[in-house]
A and B are shown apart, each in its own frame.
Chain A
Amino acid sequence: NAGVTQTPKFRVLKTGQSMTLLCAQDMNHEYMYWYRQDPGMGLRLIHYSVGEGTTAKGEVPDGYNVSRLKKQNFLLGLESAAPSQTSVYFCASSYSPDRGETQYFGPGTRLLVL
């Protein structure tokens, strides 16, 4: 099993450009999450999904959109990239959102917005 995979691994954008980050998991998990990590800070939740076709906002959703058309995929979109969105993006999934449940992480996508 590949677990959680993320595409691409690294991307450079110009301000105003758009892009989509793809997260895929092969563990049949219901719950998926997108985080961003900035230098010197902990991970912050952008959006999450509790199942196919459902998404919800996390702590820092502004400037991002997401879609979960298939259970195994969770897409993160930047419609008009800004330098403040330069960050490392992590996708995670879990079997359930129950307290104590493990989240499984992807390798991360490093995004630089110029």
Chain B
Amino acid sequence: AQRVTQPEKLLSVFKGAPVELKCNYSYSGSPELFWYVQYSRQRLQLLLRHISRESIKGFTADLNKGETSFHLKKPFAQEEDSAMYYCALDMDSNYQLIWGAGTKLIIKP
């Protein structure tokens, strides 16, 4: 069955340290993956998507089909990065996104 796993419920790092939020997926087809973010008192919003191969707010994510992963990385964390991060999988020919449970990222000063 299709599944998205974010193994860490909570990740706490110091400002300036590197950040890696893990996302693993289970899907036999060609995956399309997203990272969405929810800052405090704000709504869920797109951070970045695999198809665009973009870097947003210093974050990047590379799709590794061999390891079925789409980890989110940032070399130097900033306090404003504190938020909930969700990984989501878009499957072929389906309107449905499969969501991970989310990782709460806390950046300590």
Contact = CB atoms under 8 A, between A and B. Distances in A.
Interface of A: 4, 31, 33, 40-45, 48, 50, 56, 58-59, 90, 92, 97, 99-100, 102-108
Contact of A103 (B9, B46, B51, B52): B46
Given A42-B86, A42-B101, A90-B44, A100 B51 contact: yes
Contact of B98 (A31, A42, A56, A102): A42
B52 A100 contact: yes
B74 interface: no
Nearest to A102: B46
Given A43-B86, A105-B44, A108-B43, A100 B49 contact: yes
Contacts of A43: 86, 88, 97, 99
B51 A99 contact: yes
Nearest to A106: B43
Interface residues of B, number: 23
A105 B44 CA distance: 6
Interface string B67-97: 0000000000000000000101010100111
A59 B96 contact: yes
Given A105-B45, A106-B43, A97 B95 contact: yes
Counting from the closest, the 7 A-B pairs by CB-CB distance are A42-B99, A100-B51, A105-B44, A43-B99, A99-B32, A102-B46, A97-B95
B46 to A, nearest CB: 5
B106 interface: no
Contacts of B51: 99-100
Interface in B3-54: 4, 9, 32, 43-46, 49-52
A1 to B, nearest CB: 14
A41 B43 contact: no
A8 to B, nearest CB: 16
A48 B96 CA distance: 9
Contacts of A104: 45
Among B86, B96, B102, chain A packs the most CB atoms within 10 A around the CB of B96
